[in-house]
Structure 1
Amino acid sequence: MNQIQTLSASDVVAAADRIRPHVRRTPVLDLEIDGRRVILKLEYLQRSGSFKLRGAVNAMLDSASDDHVVAASGGNHGLAVATAAALLGLPATVYLPETAPEAKARRIEEAGARLVRHGATFAEAASAAQKVATQPGYRFLHPYDDPAVVAGQGTLAAEVVADVPGTDAFAVAAGGGGLTAGTALAAGGRQVAAVEPEGCRSLHDALAAGKPVNSPVDSVASSALGASQIGAVAFGIVAQYGVESVLVSDAEILGARARLWEECRIAVEPAAAAPFAAWLAGRVPGELPCVVLCGANADWTAG
C-alpha cells in the first residue's frame, strides 16, 4: 500500500479485516434535533478516545518489521500509537509539542509510551521525531500522510455505511486529512464535508491553491486539527473524490460542544464538535447525514 494512486475502497476493506481484533466497532445514534434527523457516529468511544487508533493499528500491522515506533502528535495520534503499540507488544516513543494539552500527555504516558516534549509546534516535534526514527529498527509513523493510516481511518465510514445504509453524506473534522480521505474512500459515492476551524484551514487553502500549502494554526481545536499543511496522500484523494471544505468559527465549535452535552450528555473535545457545528449551521449536505464525533481526549473543564 505504498503507492498513493492505488489506494482505494478495497484497502479500507482489508484494513477493517486486519484491525477488527483490536478496535471497537463504535455505535451510531439516530436522533432528531431542531426538527432535522441526523446520525451521530460515536467514535469518541473508541479505545484511546479517538478514531486515530484505527489508522495506527492498521499501519503497524501492515508493516510487521517494526522494532520501535516513533510518532509526533498534537495528542490524539500519539495516544493512538501508544495504545496500538501496547496492544501489539511494541515499544513506542511519542514527541509532543509543549503546547499539547496536559490531559493528552498524561494519557500517552499511562498507555505505556515514552513521552518527549519538544518544540512549540507539531512541525518542530515531528522534525525531532523523524531524526530519531532514522535509527535501524525504528519507524516514524505519520499521523495522516501514510496510505495505511488513511485506509485504517476509512473503516469508520465503512461501519456507518453498513449500519445505516440510508446515510447520504458525511461530515468529518479535517486536520491533516487522514480521516477525510479515508471517509471519501469508504463513502460509496456519498458526499463528504470536511469541517475545519476558520483558524486551521489547511484543506480549504490547499483546494484554493490546487496543492498542499502552509496555513496558519490558530483555533480552540488546534491540538487536534492544527496541521499546518494537509498531507499529500490525503489531498490526492480528496481532490479526486470532490470533498468540500466547510469552515466554522471557534464560537460555533464551542456552542456545538455545549449543545451535544445539553442534548445528549455527550462530552467531546472541541475538534470533535466541529462537524456538529457545521450541521447545526446548515452547512452539511444530505437529507440524512452522518456527523462523526471523532474524539474526547480533553478534560472538560480545561477545553
Structure 2
Amino acid sequence: MTVTFADVEAAARLLEGAVSPSPMLAAPKLSALTGADVRVKYENFHVTNAFKERGAVSKLARLTAEERARGVIAMSAGNHAQAVAYHATRLGIPSIIVMPDTTPHVKVAATRGFGAEVVLDGETVAEAQVRASAIALERGLTFVHPYDDPYVIAGQGSIAMEMLAADPDLDCLVVPIGGGGLISGMAIAAKTIKPGIEVIGVEAALYPAMWNALRGEELPVGGPTLAEGIAVKNVGVLTREIVARLVDDIVLVSEAELERAVNAYLIHQKTLAEGAGAAGLAALFAQPERFAGRKVGLVLCGGNIDPRILASIMVRELERDQKILAFRMTIADRPGMLGLISGKLGELGANIIEVHHQRQFLDVPAKGATLDVTVETRDHAHAEAILAAFREIGLPCRRLDSGAGG
C-alpha cells in the first residue's frame, strides 16, 4: 500500500483535538554552534514527550468498534509504546506493549503509567516484535507497528506540514531514522508542498540499517547506543521504498556527536532531548560544511532520556571542553604535600572535585605516592596553565583520559 499526501492531510485532520501542534522556534545559539540557520520543531512537548503520538492516533482512530473492544498490541523501545498506551487508554482501548529488556527504566515505567500491560522480551526491537506478533495472533489483537504502517507513516507526516506552514523558506529538513516511519511521512509531505526541499536522514553509526538497505552495504549493525530510539536492525518494507524514492541522503553520526547534541539542547535551548531526538543536531555537528548558511529544520523528536544518562553526558561534555581536568602526579610522601598542592590549586582558581591518594603502586618510590586530582576549570587555556604551574614547581602532571573524548 502506498502512502500519499492526501493520506497525510487526512491524518492531520484526525489529530485535531487529540495531539496539539508543537512549536517550531529559531535557535540562534545552535545556529552559532553549527553555522546553519537552525529552526527546531519541539516534538518533545507532547504529553508523552515524543512525536509518536501522531502516528498512534492516526492508526487508533481508524479502528472498528470490534477491534477497539479486542485491544491493540505494539512493540517499541519506548516512545511508540508510551504513545500507544496513552492514546489507547484515552480512547478506552486495552493495550499490550512488548518492550526489549534493554529499554531504559524511565520508559518502561512511563508506559505502565499510561495504562498499558508491559511485557519485557528480547534484547532488541526486532526480538520484541517476534513476541508481540505471537501475542497478537493468540489474542486476536490489532498490531500497531511503530513505523511500517501506512496510517502511522501518514500521521508522522503532519510534522512536515506544520514546519513548512510555519516557515515556507526552509531549505532542508534533517530527520532521525530508525525504522523509517518519521522520515517517510515527512518526506511525502515536504516533497509535495515544496518539491525542491532537501530531506536528509540521520542514523546512529552503530545502527546503519537504512544506509545498508539502500546502498547494498553491510556495515556492522549493533552495540550500545545513546540513541536507542532509532537502534533498529531491520527497516520497514513500506518505509524503505519511500525513503529510497524521496530522501536525498543519509548521515551517520557517532556516539560522541550524539552526546554533544543532547548536551547542546540542554545547555543552549534549555530542553531535554534523548539520543534519538538529538540525532538531527548531531548531523550538523558531524558535517557542518554541508549545512552552513542554509535554513535547516530539525525535529527534536523525543525527550525521554534517563536522568542518570543525562547527568553522565553533562559531565563527559565538561571533560571534552576541558572544564573538568583530571591529572596524576607523583609526590613525596611527607606531611604538608597535600596542603601545598591544594593551596596552589586555590591560587590558580581551580575548584577541587576529587582527590585520590595512593601509596601501593609498584612504580612509585617507597617514600612516594601518586595523587590523582580532578578539578573544575574555566576552559582549555586554564587547564593548560594549571599543568604548567605544577611543572614549574617540580611536580609534573600527567593528564588522565577518562575516555570521554569519544
> CA 1:145–1:114 in structure 2 vs 1: closer, same or farther (change >3 Å)?
same
Preserved contact between residue 175 and residue 196 of structure 1 (Cα < 8 Å) = yes
Does the CA-based 8 Å contact 1:191-1:285 persist in structure 2? no
Q: Evaluate the alpha carbon distance shift between residue 69 and residue 47 of structure 1 in structure 2; reply closer, same or farther with a 3 A threshold.
A: same
Question: Structure 1, residues 122-176: CA drift from partner, whole Å, max 9, x if none?
Answer: 1221111111111454111111011111000111111101111111210111100
User: Which residue of the partner structure matches residue 181 of structure 2?
Assistant: 178
Larger Cα-atom Rg = 2
Indicate if the aligned counterparts of 2:228 and 2:275 stay in contact, CA closer than 8 A: no
Which amino acid in structure 1 is aligned with residue 19 of structure 2?
V
- The count of aligned residue pairs is 297
Pair 1:267-2:263 in alignment? no
Aligned residues with identical type, % of pairs: 35
Deviations 1:186-215 (A, max 9, x none): 1132211111111011111111029xx896
Query: Does 2:299 correspond to 1:300?
Result: no
| Residue 216 of structure 2, aligned match among 187, 190, 209 | 209
Alignment deviations for residues 202-240 of structure 1 (CA, whole Å, 9 cap, x no partner): 111111029xx8961224234201111111111111111
Q: Output the CA distance in 2 between the equivalents of 1:167 and 1:61.
A: 31
The 8 Å contact of residues 201 and 247 in structure 2, kept in 1 or not, is answered as no
Partner of 1:55: 55
User: Would the aligned equivalents of 2:178 and 2:235 in 1 still touch at CA under 8 Å?
Assistant: yes
Decide whether the 8 Å contact of 2:226 with 2:259 is kept in 1.
Answer: no
TM-score (norm 1): 0.93
Contact 2:156 2:182 in 1 (8 A): yes
Secondary structure in 2 matching 1:149: helix
Does the alignment pair 1:27 with 2:23? yes
Matching of residue 228 in structure 1 with residue 233 in structure 2: yes
Contact 1:169 1:286 in 2 (8 A): no
C-alpha separation in 2, matches of 1:83 and 1:127: 23
**TM-score where L is the length of structure 2:** 0.70
Amino acid at match of 2:245: Q
Deviation at 1:269, TM superposition (A): 0.6
Matches within 5 A, 1:1-303: 3-4=1-2, 7-32=3-28, 33-34=31-32, 36-64=36-64, 65-66=67-68, 67-135=70-138, 137-187=140-190, 188=193, 189=195, 190-209=197-216, 216-281=221-286, 282=288, 283-284=290-291, 287-303=294-310
Query: Offset at 1:108?
Result: 0.2
| Structure 2, unaligned runs of 5 or more | 311-406
Structure 1 contact 199–218 (Cα < 8 Å) conserved: yes
**Other-structure match for 2:373:** none
Structure 1 unmatched ranges of 5 or more = none
Q: Matches of 1:234 and 1:284 in 2, distance apart?
A: 25
Over 3 Å off, 4+ runs: 283-286
- State the structure with bigger RCO (CA 8 A, min sep 6), 1 or 2: 1
